[in-house]
Amino acid sequence: MSGTSAWIFPGQGSQSVGMGAATLASSPAARAVMAEAEAALNEPLGRLIAEGPAEALERTEQAQPAILAMSIALLAAARERAAAIGETLPLPRYIAGHSAGQYAAAVAADALSIADGVRLARRRGELMQHSGGGRPGAMAAVLGLPEAAEGDVVAAGTAHGILVLANRNSPGQIVLSGEVAAIEAAIIAATAAGAKRAVRLQVSIASHSPLMREAADGMREALAAATVRDPRVMMLANADASPITTATELRAELANHLTSGVDWIAAVTAMSAGGTTRFIEVGAGRVLSGLVKRIPAASTAEVLSIDELYAATAAGA
């Protein structure tokens, strides 16, 4: 491996009961990460991940620290296996997280400790669940909408309330976020504009929208009280893929991205333009890997999961 790699960290939605079980069973380093996360939260997070129930793990305040702990545990396992054969897992050129994945990314960049990372992720989830000033939020996934029609769809929604383009995940895949009436109007407009599918997501919050302003304010307070260091590896902002190289920039990102969007296309394009030829998804599942493969700037890049890297490292590849 070389400095042409990027580590990418998934956010909420990548969790599942039993995730990482094989790695936790075989890797002392992974178990040590989970133990540190449990001590920080003072609860058996590993048991929730292993046994569920799924409804509890899917709760925002549980899912976000669980995803962080698992991502860092998988990374620790890969480093452990490399060390066992006398190698070192080199740092990548870039580190980027998708939404809540920015917290795991910050831990991997040595800007946050594991303990602070899971506590901040827990606080983020709690604040998001109660943000919005009593206004119910909603989100919708829209697939196959012509890019030229996006502005008209957003305008149709905003005629009925707050609505923003929250995620630009890959060509032809966006997520809208805002008030319920605005989301419902946007779904109708997207379907009329030729979207292959426009469906409301099963969530009751409006992530990456102005309805998260209270949560963002709360996270600024939490981040001010936490120890945040300059990232050892360049991170990228969710909204515009701008570089994050200082603790001050990272604090701003981790609060501001609650009310701004995630442009994953811009992040992957920036990393590719910066010389990335290998994207490694550090987390359970393959959500981001699938998105990266659909982004033209990364069409010739190698895309793999940390589990695959773990196997390659074990074989001495």
**Three-state secondary structure call for residue 259:** coil
Per-residue pLDDT at 207 exceeds 50: yes
Residue 315 has pLDDT above 60, yes or no: no
Can you tell me the mean pLDDT for 251-279? 97
What pLDDT digit, counting tens, does each position of 108-121 carry? 999 999 999 999 99
| Residues 189-199: tens digit of each pLDDT | 999 999 999 99
pTM: predicted TM-score of the whole model, two decimal places: 0.94
Average pLDDT over every residue of 92-100: 97
**For range 23-45, the mean pLDDT:** 97
Tokens 């969790």: give the residue.
15
The reported pLDDT for the residue numbered 317 is: 38
**pLDDT (0 to 100) of residue 27:** 96
Residue 175 has pLDDT above 80, yes or no: yes
Q: Is 99 among the catalytic positions?
A: yes
> Does residue 242 have an active-site annotation?
no
> What one-character DSSP code corresponds to residue 296?
G
Nearest to 281 by CA among 36, 122, 74, 121: 74
Q: What number is the average pLDDT over the span 10-23? A: 93
Return the axis-axis angle of helices 180-192 and 150-158, rounded to nearest 10°: 150
Share of the chain above pLDDT 90, in %: 89
User: Cα separations (Å) of 302 from 222, 270, 282?
Assistant: 37, 16, 14
Band (pLDDT 50/70/90 cuts) for residue 134 is low
Q: Give mean pLDDT, residues 230-250.
A: 98
Give the model's pLDDT for residue 63. Answer: 94
- Domain 137-200 superfamily per CATH: Malonyl-CoA ACP transacylase, ACP-binding (3.30.70.250)
- SS3 of 146-206: the string is CHHHHHHHHHHHHCCCCEEEEEEEECCEEEEEEEHHHHHHHHHHHHHCCCCEEEECCCCCC
Give the pLDDT mean for 303-311.
Answer: 82
Pick the catalytic residue: 27, 207, 208, 257? 208
Name every residue whose Cβ is closer than 8 Å to that of residue 241 and which is 6 or more positions away in sequence: 263, 266, 267, 269, 270
Mean pLDDT to the nearest integer, 226-242: 98
Question: Is 98 buried (19+), middle (13-18) or exposed (0-12) by CB count in 10 A?
Answer: buried
Banded pLDDT at 202 (limits 50, 70, 90): confident
Q: How many CB atoms lie within 10 A of CB 97?
A: 33
Alpha helical stretches, state H, the chain: 21-26, 28-41, 45-51, 54-57, 60-84, 101-108, 114-130, 150-158, 180-192, 213-225, 247-256, 264-273, 287-293, 306-314
Q: At the topology level of CATH, where does 5-131+210-314 sit?
A: Malonyl-Coenzyme A Acyl Carrier Protein; domain 2 (3.40.366)
Mean pLDDT check: name the lowest of 161-170, 192-201, 300-309: 300-309
Cβ-count burial 115-131 (b if 16+ within 10 Å, e if not):
bbbbbbbbbbbbbbeeb
Helix (H, G, I), strand (E, B) or coil at 234: strand
Q: How many CA atoms lie within 13 A of 89 on its CB side?
A: 22
Instruction: Give me the pLDDT at residue 133, please.
Output: 65
Question: SS3 for 137?
Answer: strand
**Mean pLDDT of all residues belonging to the chain:** 94
pLDDT of res. 113: 98
The token pair that represents 286 in the structure block: 């393959």
Average pLDDT for 270-296 = 96
Catalytic residue among 5, 14, 27, 99: 99
Return the domain boundaries, the chain.
5-131+210-314, 137-200
The average pLDDT across 86-100 equals 95
Q: Which residue has the tokens 């991940």?
A: 49
CB 119 within 8 A of CB 83: no
